[in-house]
Structure 1
């Protein structure tokens, strides 16, 4: 069974359109005005305080842009937790500033308790040519401020909560979406491009023994009840539940074939034991990063059809209707796991997606640089 969501017909053919494969250098050199100083802005925290899909994606984009000669910085929230957070809090207090800057990630990261208040000071010091606003946290405040400062920017939508109507009507911002599903939130004339999360196969590819079903972030909204039902139904299949923090499910009653693991700094520790990625999410995922990461090692996926998950799967797995009964999930799991030839076909498609699909670093960075150049060229100055 493979029933896709209503937005799947809008899927672009990522293997076509040679314009998207032009070199960034050629794109940049075609304009007399070049945006060379790029500031990523978010109301969320950033690595290493917060390790999520958006944060990892921001880091990889910053590294790739640096390699192409851009000056890149990040402005984000400060959580102040753990050793890193405590040191940052102390430095902020000693320096007497509203924000503190560190360089441990090879580019400057300015962290603040209230990043929406300190953004004018950060812009004054870094003097970016263009800002890339990300994350839903306090996005309207940032948009108000960036607009009042006449700062070129666009909004990179990663989360399933669109900007409110008043913000769009007031500022009419340009938007980059991370999936076709996410782009459906906005008028087509405001969408600069669709740029899925960047996933470099070199960083995730690993040998796998194909022995386990992997379920990442075992939380209710991610489909925990479905994952547990499948584990009880198939006691012969070992399951890995990869936690986001060590307290997750620590006291939860689990069947004997479910093994808790992680969190891992290097998720290849989990992928090396995985034969199938399970993502029965019950909320609107804007993409499925764990699916794309698993595909780097040719690992197929069994997912719901929520949000942008079908875009991530792209034939390298099976999508089950979001509200399908448990019986449907059980039969679909068995159809994949018990038929090695079928799983091998899905594995080959997964591998192909990883190396030619929309998450390839070159394709993502080329699209991003085009979007940056377009916004910069349209801005007076």
Structure 2
């Protein structure tokens, strides 16, 4: 498998890819080689990039007819859509469960994007923060995202800590870097994990086939270290409620790890959880599952608790949140199904 590394150089509006051709790589034209490894980039864009000098092999610019050989190092620079770092303040209500002069903890609803990005410039948590708070700090390299030291996915609900001062941001960022922040999530997954409790210590990284998806790499030859501790709280025949404790915080970590374990999150469309993955072939059962999907039209994942050392007072802070209504309703439906259907 070719080795791929990715990095962003946002000041240049370029996305960089570094690919090492496999030792067994067949000799292949560079555009055909790249189209398989950059699936979200068109062949025309790749070919134009080669002509414009944005593709280098072994440090040298190449011609469009260059053929890739085993061991070649390919650097590709892909232009990205411009990003506006000026955040527009918007009067969006925030569910603040704690606040002092240094930080606040918010309970983000499902459906809200955390920070502005391509195709989501408005309506985000950061737009709301910019309206309610003045001069929130920004982390170096994370401009345009004031107050943020971590994030959760758009369709994941739950707790986030926001820094209000530079000192608080640095203190919280150090705890995330040291993996000392305590974060627990509730997830509804397909099937019953076996063993019921355990640790998933498997690298994750961006999929080589679809950059929107995070993939587990069990051989640890790619991706970044990712550790999830899980505990089964309740089994409901074809689904289970589990608690996940994050030791690391990679993009889509729980979603990728649970899919790797064979227990994809319920109604996680990105990872195939919006299909009937466990259960009977009866039409009534399939209709029941579809109704559950309608009740909770998103992945069943909630950032339930958050614990950290206050960066200024040094006191232990611990926060917990209730499951949102859609999550509670889906659990109730499954409880009712298990009680009244003896299959």
The alignment's TM-score, normalised by the length of structure 1, stands at 0.22
More helix by share: 1
More strand by share: 2
